């Protein structure tokens, strides 16, 4: 089974070398059939030359700027049945390639595989925050995939798709500019086969966006666009900013959000929401404990309530559809 690495790169001359080195390190001593494609996405620096310095790398030029345009160009130029979509500022973790090949080999219905980012160039506190954010995201992934059955979850920059499945799902939606591109792919692939998110497939990545946008702002944007794309079939946000920082070596990047007031407002809002959510959950759990129901019995009962009670589930889905239609109608009137 051939695997194609597709790496979009816009002005990434300082990071692309680390990414490519990690790929060839993983390939060393292994006999997998692979190809490596870097998509030079309208770069104005030496990204193209930096990529070509690695023997065996194919560079494709895509002059229409945008992550989805670049992924589409790389997908079109690739030939592997498996396509690994990674970012230029990422570094493969040891064993990443073996995990991918093993997962797809043992499950013929698997059409998408993904895992979390581990930001290697930020402080320990930010790394812990990111880990907590992914745990919350995993809850959404579980609900969307197994309860609501409307989608799944892929981490943009760390996901592998089966070519035939993505083609069946309609390929990349080039109307999407940045946010929600991974959620859109996950939602459509979910209808074709099994899409799996696992913590057994981590990927090192630069934390340059989180230190400049702010942890809470970035988490809120990604979370909102994930849910919006999953339920309403299009991203909530269209505008985005490119963040390019000098490689800081082994020193952590300085946490310096561009809009500190906005970051503080988002932080307070998220904390209040989480406190309210966990408070309500605490009351529910306390009620179950007083009824002497085991946690396992409670989880199973709640799962079967949502998954087996078609009437309640259909009512909730109709409510979501009504909200989406109202929003779409207002946008059309404007």
What pLDDT score does 310 carry?
Answer: 46
Residue 152 and residue 197: Cα distance in Å, rounded?
8
Q: Would the pTM count as exceeding 0.85?
A: no
pLDDT at 312: 47
With 90 as the cut, is the pLDDT of residue 116 above it? yes
* Bridge partners of residue 158, in order along the sequence: 86
Is the pLDDT confidence value at 209 over 70? yes
Rounded to an integer, the average pLDDT of 254-279 is 86
User: pLDDT class for 249, splitting at 50, 70, 90?
Assistant: confident
pLDDT of residue 286: 65
pLDDT at 149 over 90: no
pLDDT single digits (tens) 295-334: 556 656 655 655 544 444 455 555 555 655 665 565 455 5
Which is nearest to 166 in space by CA: 268, 85, 70, 250?
Answer: 85
Across the strands, what pairs with 34? 3
Edge to edge, what strands does the sheet with 3-9 contain?
Answer: 57-61, 34-40, 3-9, 82-86, 158-162, 110-114, 194-197
Q: What does the alpha-carbon distance between residue 32 and residue 266 come to, in Å, rounded to a whole number? A: 45
Across the chain, what does the average pLDDT equal?
A: 88
Residue 77 pLDDT greater than 90, yes or no:
yes
Domains and CATH numbers, the chain: 3-255 (3.90.550.10), 272-333 (no CATH)
pLDDT at 262: 87
DSSP, collapsed to helix, strand or coil, labels residue 62 as: coil
- Strand pairing report for 158-162 and 194-197: unpaired
Helices 96-106 & 16-27 angle (0-180, nearest 10): 60
């Amino acid at each position: 089974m051939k695997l194609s690495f597709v790496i979009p790169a816009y002005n990434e001359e300082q990071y692309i070398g680390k990414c490519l080195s990690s790929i060839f390190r993983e390939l060393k001593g292994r006999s997998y059939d692979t190809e490596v494609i870097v998509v030079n996405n309208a770069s104005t620096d030496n990204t193209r030359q930096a990529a070509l310095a690695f023997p065996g790398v194919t560079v494709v030029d895509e002059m229409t700027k945008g992550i989805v345009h670049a992924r589409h160009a790389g997908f079109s130029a690739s030939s592997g049945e498996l396509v690994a979509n990674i970012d230029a500022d990422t570094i493969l973790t040891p064993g990443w390639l073996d995990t991918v090949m093993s997962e797809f080999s043992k499950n013929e219905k698997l059409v998408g595989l993904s895992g979390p980012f581990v930001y290697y160039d930020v402080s320990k506190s930010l790394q812990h925050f990111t880990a907590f954010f992914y745990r919350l995201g995993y809850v959404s992934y579980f609900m969307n995939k197994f309860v609501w059955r409307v989608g799944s979850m892929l981490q943009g920059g760390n996901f592998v798709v089966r070519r035939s499945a993505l083609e069946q799902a309609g390929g990349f939606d080039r109307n999407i500019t940045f946010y929600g591109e991974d959620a859109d792919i996950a939602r459509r692939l979910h209808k074709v086969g099994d899409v799996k998110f696992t913590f057994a497939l981590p990927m090192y990545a630069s934390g340059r966006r989180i230190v400049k946008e702010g942890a809470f702002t970035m988490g809120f944007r990604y979370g909102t666009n994930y849910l919006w794309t999953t339920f309403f079939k299009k991203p909530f946000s269209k505008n985005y900013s490119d963040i390019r920082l000098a490689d800081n070596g082994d020193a952590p990047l300085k946490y310096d959000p561009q809009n500190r007031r906005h970051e503080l407002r988002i932080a307070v809002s998220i904390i209040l929401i989480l406190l309210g959510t966990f408070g309500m959950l605490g009351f529910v759990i306390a009620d179950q404990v007083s009824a002497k129901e085991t946690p396992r019995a409670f989880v199973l009962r709640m799962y079967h309530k949502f998954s087996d009670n078609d009437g309640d589930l259909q009512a909730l889905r109709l409510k979501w559809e009504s909200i989406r239609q109202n929003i779409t109608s207002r946008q059309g009137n404007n």
